[in-house]
Chains A and B, each alone.
Chain A
Amino acid sequence: MGILDFFKPVSTWPPDRVRQFLDEKSPQEYNLVDVRTPKEYEQEHLPGARLIPVAELETRWKELDRNKPTITY
């Protein structure tokens, strides 16, 4: 056992996979979450993304339906 045994990989999708998923589904079927700062969101964001900065996620995750597939960026 070593320190890495305390961690597990987070699932990731390459952008192509995300794009394909968003094309196939309707917005009601998933959560797309922009976790950057409001300023970064204002500059540019993916269409339909909901802004929840990572600093606020601990309290605001309840705004999302956890039964839906969720993509963060």
Chain B
Amino acid sequence: MRSRAAAAVLAREGFEEVYSMEGGIHAWKGLRATGAPDAGMAYFEPARKPEELIALAWMLEEGSRKFYKEMGTKEKIPGAVDLFQELSGDEEKHKSSLFKIYQRISRKASDPGFPRSLVSLETGDDYLEGGMGLKEVLEWSRGKELKDILEFSISLEANAIDLYIKMERRIEGTEAKEVFLALSNQERNHLKRLSAALENS
């Protein structure tokens, strides 16, 4: 899962041929690991309107926020409750930054269609990076160890950084660019904190 996120980063930076090894080092040794749910998908950059990209980012922030919030209530992983609660709070702030940029670009003070109509989604499910359903991921997380949850979270953040870097390159206007740069830096900080927690777990 981390490997796929890494492969997506390298592909974005112009690496011509990148392959993520299926199953990671466990598979290499012939052992089977209990893997994280994995859509095996990375953000893709076809011609999209900025409004659509912002709506996508907002939805993914909302999915991550709910995921972290849920992880922050787990009694099973007391070592990381504070971390997950903070991450959840940060993603809420990211949503407001994104909505402000949307208001500016769309010239709408409010929009009942935001974000779901812009990404053609009916009401209902929440999504995480790679188009994974939140329900499926929460189901998976039951009974998992902190290490598994942290690895999964690292993949989420690596993909989020990837998305924001692409958006920053795509979008017009200094102010919007600054917002995406700031978001990618904040997600990078999340990535570092999660990695440190994994290293110490």
A interface list, Cβ under 8 A from B: 1-4, 6-15, 18-19, 33-40, 44-46, 53-55, 57-58, 61, 64, 66-73
Contact = CB atoms under 8 A, between A and B. Distances in A.
Given A15-B22, A61-B15, A72-B3, 6 more contacts: A3-B56, A54-B154, A66-B13, A66-B14, A69-B16, A71-B19
Contacts of A35: 2-3, 6
A15 B10 contact: no
B17 A72 contact: no
Contact of B3 (A19, A66, A73): A73
B50 interface: no
A66 to B, nearest CB: 4
A9 B20 CA distance: 11
Contact of A72 (B18, B28, B165): B18
B93 interface: no
B199 A37 contact: yes
13 contacts: A2-B120, A2-B121, A7-B43, A7-B44, A7-B130, A11-B18, A13-B20, A13-B22, A14-B23, A18-B19, A54-B6, A58-B165, A69-B17
A9 B6 contact: no
A11 B17 CA distance: 9
A72 B121 contact: no
Given A55-B192, A70-B10, A72-B10, A10 B4 contact: yes
B83 to A, nearest CB: 15
A36 B3 CA distance: 8
Contact of A10 (B42, B165, B199): B42
Contacts of A57: 6, 9-10, 158
Contact of B5 (A7, A33, A54): A54
A3 to B, nearest CB: 5
- By secondary structure, the A interface counts as mixed
A67 B18 CA distance: 10
A3 B115 CA distance: 11
Given A11-B18, A53-B195, A66-B10, A73 B161 contact: no
Given A15-B28, A35-B6, A64-B15, A3 B22 contact: no
A8 B41 contact: yes
Contact of B9 (A14, A38, A58): A58
B105 interface: no
Interface-centre pick from B8, B18, B59, B131 (highest chain A CB count, 10 A)? B18
Given A11-B20, A54-B158, A61-B10, A3 B4 contact: no
Contacts of B35: none
